[in-house]
Amino acid sequence: MLRRCGDGGNGGINPSRSRAGSSSGVPVMATSQSVGRLAPIATTPPPMSAHLSPVKPQSLLRRFMPWQASTTLRSPASHPADRNGTRSDDKTAPRPRAVLGRSRRLGVRVGIGMLFVCLCQLGFGLAALSHMRALEADNQRLYREDLQQAAAAERAGGDVARLRNGKLALFVASSGPERDAARQLIAASVDSIAHALAKANGDPAVARRAQQSLTQARRQVDEFVALMVKQSFDPVMFDSAVSVNGHFVDTALDGLGEAIAALRRSQDAATEARAARAATVRARTLGALALLFAATLCASLLVWFYVGRTLRRELGGEPREAAQLAARIAGGDLAASTGSRADSASVFGAIARMRESLVHLVADVRTGADSIALASRQIADDNEALATRTRAQAASIAETAANASRLSGAVEHNAAHARQASELAREAAAVCDSGARQTEAVVATMRRLANESRRMGEIVAVIDGIAFQTNLLALNAAVEAARAGTQGRGFAVVAGEVRELARRSAEAARDVKARIDGSLAGVQTSERAAEAAGTTMADARAASERVAALLAEIEQASESQRVGIARIDQAVGDIDAITRDNAARVLAAHAASDALAERTRALQQAVSVFRLERHAT
């Protein structure tokens, strides 16, 4: 319906072409170069949906998204734009690929920052794990080696006491087996002390003194054992050297006990020193971890500050403000502004350029829609005037045709009704004849019923008399039974029942007689009414015959009128058909102009959702 016009000019309608028409008399309108030229409207308008489609604000917004790589911006003809969605006079605006490149670089920078934070956290965790393992190793040495050495020294002290007991058992033994057991105890105690001192690890000087004391004590014990083996089992026969050697053994064992005690004190001092070193290492480890945690936290804060600053610089503002601005523009509020001096390469700058493009586009669409609306209104006014005159003429002819048709129908209905009335009159005469015969039969039947009713009344009177006589006989029987006394008591009961039956029979007979009398009176009344109805039916038959004759004459006159009016109705129908064809052509042109106006209003309504600045509206 619209095609682009190459004429330059004002923003309204070209007066020289506003009334240029075709041979059919339908005007052809022209608009400015931003709207186009209207083609002649056909007499049968095609579906407008095949040429015009509703414009949606969302489709306009999708066409002006410069940061989407898959969308190519298309600017209106009055404002040419390049393929990147920027105006030709905007030399500093970045292209979409540059925006995408910046977005990728932003993603890389953010990813590097997050990777750095993760590496810091990983380093902190590895350092903490290393220090914890070192502390665990110190604790293992403290609780394994030192405790084992302390236990060995403790066992050595106990073995010294066992050695004293073995020496005493050897001294008091009174038989060979007892001496052998004492010797074995002494040997086992000496070996256990030697093994414990070999495991003990304290001060080297103290350890050497302990080994020397053990060697001296072993030599004294061996000499004492050898001397005791040579003695008899009687203590009185012991040599004096036994007491001397025993004293030497006790002295050596005392020295060995003191050396073992000194070794234990040395081990305790070493354990305390190692525990102090472990506490120092633990404190240093905690300090190092705290320092490392503080460094990691500072690095994370620096990365967060750098990423936030980068995001703000790339967005041109807060993300929430960007979302609100985009939502307002998507809702049609093109008067919204960024409110900040954002970089042209930022998201805010891209949104501002998109808003400017939409403002120009909506302004151009509104101008074109107004021009189309003005042209369509002029076409609609001309078609409306022509359609009004054509409708008035068609209405007059249609009314004449309708009146002729109604008159023809009325005459035809009158003729049909006359024929039906004639038939009904003949049928009524036949019905009246049949009714007269039926009435005579009813009168005869009523007379027979009256005779039968009188006969039934006589029979009921006889029954009433019989019941009265039966009652008297039963009364006499009851009197006789009373005279008979006890022998007649049963007969008295039977007589009472007979009297009751006679009384009930008399009541029934009187009731039947009353009903028969009422029925007889009704039959007599019906007989008189039937005789009167017979007379009336005879009169109605004569009247129906006269009405049938009159209706036959009316039927002939109505048929003559119907033929004449049918010829008039045919002539008016031909005139009405020609007028309807003319009216259809006018209505087709008017419908086309209305459809164009409706599409124009739809276009204006579609762009009316956008609110521009005051100077743009």
pLDDT in tens, 230-246: 666 656 555 566 666 66
590 is a domain residue: no
Q: Is the pLDDT of residue 212 over 70?
A: yes
Q: What is the pLDDT of residue 16?
A: 38
- Lowest mean pLDDT: which of 133-142, 155-164, 402-411? 133-142
How far is 171 from 151, CA to CA, in rounded Å? 30
pLDDT the model gives residue 172: 62
Q: What is the pLDDT of residue 480?
A: 77
Q: Return d(Cα 190, Cα 184) in angstroms, integer.
A: 10
Q: Does residue 52 lie in a domain region?
A: no
198 has a pLDDT exceeding 50: yes
CATH number of the structural domain spanning residue 227: 1.20.120.1730
Q: How far apart are CA 171 and CA 232, in angstroms?
A: 11
Task: Name the domain count of the chain.
Answer: 1
Q: Which range has the worst mean pLDDT, 52-66, 450-464, 561-575?
A: 52-66
If one compares 417 and 107, the residue with the highest pLDDT of the two is 417
Residue 199 has what pLDDT? 65
pLDDT, average across residues 357-369: 77
Residue 617: the pLDDT is: 40
CB contact at 8 A, 617 and 360: no
Average pLDDT over residues 409-437: 76
- How remote is the C-alpha of 526 from its chain's centroid? 83
The letter for the amino acid at 179 is R
Would you state the structure tokens that stand for residue 328, as one six-digit string?
């307002």
Residue 613 has pLDDT above 70, yes or no: no
Which position has the token pair 């087709």?
A: 588
Beta bridge partners of residue 3, listed in sequence order: 37
Q: How confident is the model at residue 123 (pLDDT cuts 50, 70, 90)?
A: confident
Q: How confident is the model at residue 117 (pLDDT cuts 50, 70, 90)?
A: confident
Q: How far is CA 22 from the centre of its chain?
A: 58
- The amino acid sitting at 42 is A
Check residue 87 and report its DSSP letter: B
Gap between the Cα atoms of 386 and 380, Å rounded? 10
Minimum mean pLDDT among 146-150, 265-269, 564-568, 598-602: which range?
A: 146-150
Q: In percent, how much of the chain has pLDDT > 70?
A: 63
Supply 142's token pair.
């403290």
CA–CA dist 74, 83 (Å, integer): 7
Q: Which residues contact 40 (CB under 8 A, 6 or more apart)?
A: 22, 24, 26, 28
**Residue 309 domain boundaries:** 103-315
pTM (2 decimals)? 0.33
Partnered with residue 37 across adjacent β-strands are 3, 30
The residue whose two tokens read 């609780």 is 143
Tokens of 9: 């000019």
Q: Inform me whether the pLDDT recorded for 441 exceeds 50.
A: yes
**The pLDDT value given to residue 283:** 77
In a domain, 607, yes or no: no
60 lies in some domain? no
Q: Is residue 273 part of a domain?
A: yes
Mean pLDDT, residues 8-25 taken together: 38
Long-range contacts (CB closer than 8 Å, 24 or more residues apart) made by 270-278: 270/146, 270/202, 270/203, 271/142, 271/146, 271/150, 274/138, 274/141, 274/142, 274/146, 275/142, 277/138, 278/135, 278/138, 278/139, 278/142
**pLDDT tens profile 310-332:** 776 666 666 666 677 777 777 66
- Give residue 298's pLDDT band: very low, low, confident or very high (50, 70, 90): confident
- Identify the pLDDT of residue 249: 72
pLDDT band per the 50, 70, 90 thresholds, residue 277: confident
What confidence category does residue 74 fall into, taking pLDDT thresholds of 50, 70 and 90?
very low
Q: Does position 60 have pLDDT exceeding 60, yes or no?
A: no
Measured between alpha carbons, how far is 353 from 268 in angstroms, rounded to an integer? 83
The model's confidence at residue 154, banded by pLDDT at 50, 70 and 90, is low
Q: What pLDDT digit, counting tens, does each position of 486-537 carry?
A: 777 777 777 777 777 777 777 787 788 777 777 777 777 777 777 777 777 7
Instruction: Return all residues near 249 (Cβ < 8 A) that are at least 6 apart.
Output: 167, 217, 220, 221, 224
Report the alpha-carbon distance of residue 116 to residue 120 in Å, rounded.
Answer: 6
The whole-number average pLDDT for the span 154-174 is 69
Rounded to the nearest 5°, which phi and psi values hold at 75? -90, 155
Mean pLDDT of 439-456: 77
Per-residue pLDDT, 334: 67
Amino acid at 313: R
Name the band, by pLDDT with cuts 50, 70 and 90, for residue 9.
Answer: very low
Q: Enumerate the β-bridge partners of residue 2.
A: 38
**Is 245 among the domain residues?**
yes
pLDDT, position 59:
45
464 lies in some domain: no
pLDDT score at 414? 76
Q: Is residue 130 part of a domain?
A: yes
